[in-house]
Amino acid sequence: MTRRRVIARFHGKHDHSRCLQQALARAYDTCAQKGLRLTQLRRQVLALVWGSHTPVRAYDILEGLRDKGHRPGPPTAYRALEFLQDAGLVHRIESLNAYVGCGDPIPSHTGQFFICDHCDSVAEIHDLSVEHDLDRNAERLGFHADHHTVEIHGICAHCQTSS
């Protein structure tokens, strides 16, 4: 595995339908590889998360499902989100309590995100050295870490040039 990967860049204006198609195709592959079932509901929730590159809240996903004529109870939608998270297909942005799709779910990884506070877009990287440094520091403190997510807020390059 490479030590440092850019999983998602900041996009600016682009044809997002292609991102969505790619994400769904990748989700099928990922589920096939992991022996998981991508049910219709899970696929629809994933498509809603992938509606853009900005994090989506669970509430908005419920609304989106209703717009498509579904009326799942919140627990059903949450379970679908949990499934997608466990499969590595979406990540939770803790500081926003919202979800983004992962552009490259295999190999599984913890989230390292740059979040633009102007346009709400999220870029994702996976840097093993950051992960190792955090683990080493946890060890030094005698702390057992069970998960970590790195979230850095700021302004993306597109918003810097447009303002």
Phi and psi (nearest 5°) for 102? -95, 130
Selected range binding Zn ion among 10-18, 66-74, 75-83, 144-152, rule: CB under 5 A: 10-18
Using the minimum distance from each CB to Zn ion, give the nearer residue, 33 or 76. Answer: 33
How many whole angstroms separate alpha carbon 87 and alpha carbon 80? 11
How many whole angstroms separate alpha carbon 5 and alpha carbon 22? 18
- What is the number of residues in the chain? 163
Which of 102, 115, 123, 125: binder of Zn ion (CB under 5 A)? 102
Which of 61, 93, 119, 123: binder of Zn ion (CB under 5 A)? 119
| One-letter amino acid for residue 107 of the chain | P
How many whole angstroms separate alpha carbon 59 and alpha carbon 121? 19
Site string for Zn ion, 128-157 (x = CB under 5 A): ----------------------------x-
Using CB under 5 A, list all residues that contact Zn ion: 7, 16, 19, 102, 116, 118-119, 156, 159
